[in-house]
A and B are shown apart, each in its own frame.
Chain A
Amino acid sequence: MTDTTEAVRRASTRTIRVEVSRYRPGEDAEPVFQEYEVPLMADWAVLDGLNYIKDRLDGSLSFRWSCRMGVCGSCGMNVNGEPRLTCGTFLSEYGEGPVRIEPLKGFPVIRDLVVDIDDFLAKLSSVRPWLIREGEEPPLTAEYAQTPEQLEAYKQYSMCINCLLCYSACPVYVLDPDFLGPAAIALAQRYNLDSRDMGDRFDVLNLEDSVWGCTFVGECTSACPKHVDPAEAIQRYKLTAALRSVLPWSRR
């Protein structure tokens, strides 16, 4: 804490204006912007700016964060209109500012920058995102060896950290929250394409509000901080599902 104070005092008198969306249930009828002046430190991410506000300027500000290294996926917010991980987005990217920070689009706002992700969690579990095995009870020490090719087939989709930036970037989801959405479908594909998986997710994916709701805007892929490419996962499953519908005997 004293480190920060020292650094801020010594570093500069330069500051950047941060406009933060505030929503206090029972107090605000709708979100309003509140402005703060934050020291513009070269190595500060937007999240550091928010923590500075919370620690020094306004303890009532609410937001989610945890790892500060782009792994936990909890600090996703809309920064100047774009969904970003605030721990991986530097204040200096925005020059003289101001930087406008809003909660992720497409989700109900609980308070300030905190959104309700229950809808996503329900969608995620609906695609059965785990390895499904049938007809065996192997010992806990059993190994399932995979070749590098088998690993490569799904590895990209396994990088998802459930940060929800792709949902916020997707106009289809923002306009119609019934859409199953990019990350859930990409994670379904992560298991579909895994050589160890014996499950079938056709029933949850071959639906109007699932892969067929996607119109291939492609912004989920641009927003993804982990290069998962959900847009590709969805288009690939469209082809799979279409071929399975036309050729009933083909399983994958």
Chain B
Amino acid sequence: MRRTPEPYLWLLFSGGGVVAALLLPVLVLLFGVLMPLGVVDWPAAEHLRALLDSPPVRVALVVVVVLCLFHAAHRVRHTSEELFGIARFDVVIALLCYGGAVAGGVVAAVLMV
């Protein structure tokens, strides 16, 4: 039987979709909109630092980054192919998209170590 990586990519996509849905809106609301607009004060750097110092938070952050990026990569791959009719370059597009997600995960891991 022909092996296909699609089931694994879809699981990463789905997991990323759930994680992105649950976590990203509140984070971008706080750090991207409310704090820059001055509606909410920026927390003290030490407070955020203390949050990031806990190992479980660090591991969780790397997982969240990898999953969210795989989610985005999967959708960007399929949508670009459907929008621009470039499905014949699927292998290249897939390598670029998922490669970007892996690269982002490596950056996150390096930051956290």
Given a CB threshold of 8 Å, the question of whether A touches B is answered with: yes
Cross-interface CB contact of A203 among B1, B6, B8, B10, cutoff 8 Å: B1
> Does B10 contact A176, Cβ atoms closer than 8 Å?
no
Q: Chain B interface secondary structure, helix, strand, loop or mixed?
A: helix
Q: How many residues of A contact B (CB 8 A)?
A: 17
Check if B46 is an interface residue, CB within 8 A of chain A: no
Question: B82 and A206: CB pair below 8 A?
Answer: no
| Contact status of A172 and B4, CB under 8 A, knowing A242-B10, A242-B11, A246-B11 | no
Pairwise interchain contact A245-B1, C-beta atoms closer than 8 A: no
| Interface residue? A215 (CB, 8 A) | yes
Q: Does A245 lie within 8 Å of B85, measured CB to CB?
A: no
Q: Does A218 contact B (CB under 8 A)?
A: no
Point out the residues of chain B lying under 8 angstroms from A238, CB to CB.
Answer: 7, 10
Q: Which residues, 44 to 100 on B, are CB-close (under 8 Å) to A?
A: 78-79, 82, 85, 87
Are A245 and B8 within 8 A (Cβ)?
yes
Q: Do residues A215 and B4 form an inter-chain contact, with CB atoms below 8 A?
A: no
Indicate which residue in B7, B11, B78 contacts A215 across the interface (CB closer than 8 Å): B78
**With A241-B7, A242-B10, A246-B8: A207-B2 Cβ-Cβ less than 8 Å:** yes
Within 8 A of A (CB), among B8-26: 8, 10-11, 14
Inter-chain contacts of B7 with A (CB < 8 A):
206, 212, 238, 241-242, 244-246
Name B90's closest neighbour in chain A (CB-CB).
Answer: A208
Q: Given A176-B87, A238-B10, A242-B11, answer yes or no on A208-B4 (Cβ-Cβ < 8 Å).
A: yes
Instruction: Kindly report which residue of chain B lies nearest to residue A215, judged by CB atoms.
Output: B78
- Please give the residue numbers on chain B whose beta carbons come within 8 Å of chain A beta carbons, in ascending order: 1-2, 4, 6-8, 10-11, 14, 78-79, 82, 85, 87
29 A-B residue pairs with Cβ-Cβ distance under 8 Å, sorted by A, are A171-B82, A172-B82, A175-B82, A175-B87, A176-B87, A202-B1, A203-B1, A206-B6, A206-B7, A207-B2, A207-B4, A208-B4, A208-B6, A212-B4, A212-B6, A212-B7, A212-B10, A215-B78, A215-B79, A238-B10, A242-B7, A242-B8, A242-B10, A242-B11, A242-B14, A245-B7, A245-B8, A246-B7, A246-B11
Which residues in A have some Cβ–Cβ distance to B below 8 Å?
A: 171-172, 175-176, 202-203, 206-208, 212, 215, 238, 241-242, 244-246
Told that A176-B87, A202-B1, A207-B4 touch, could you supply 12 new A-B pairs with CB distance under 8 A? A171-B82, A175-B85, A175-B87, A203-B1, A206-B6, A207-B2, A208-B6, A215-B78, A215-B79, A238-B10, A241-B7, A242-B10
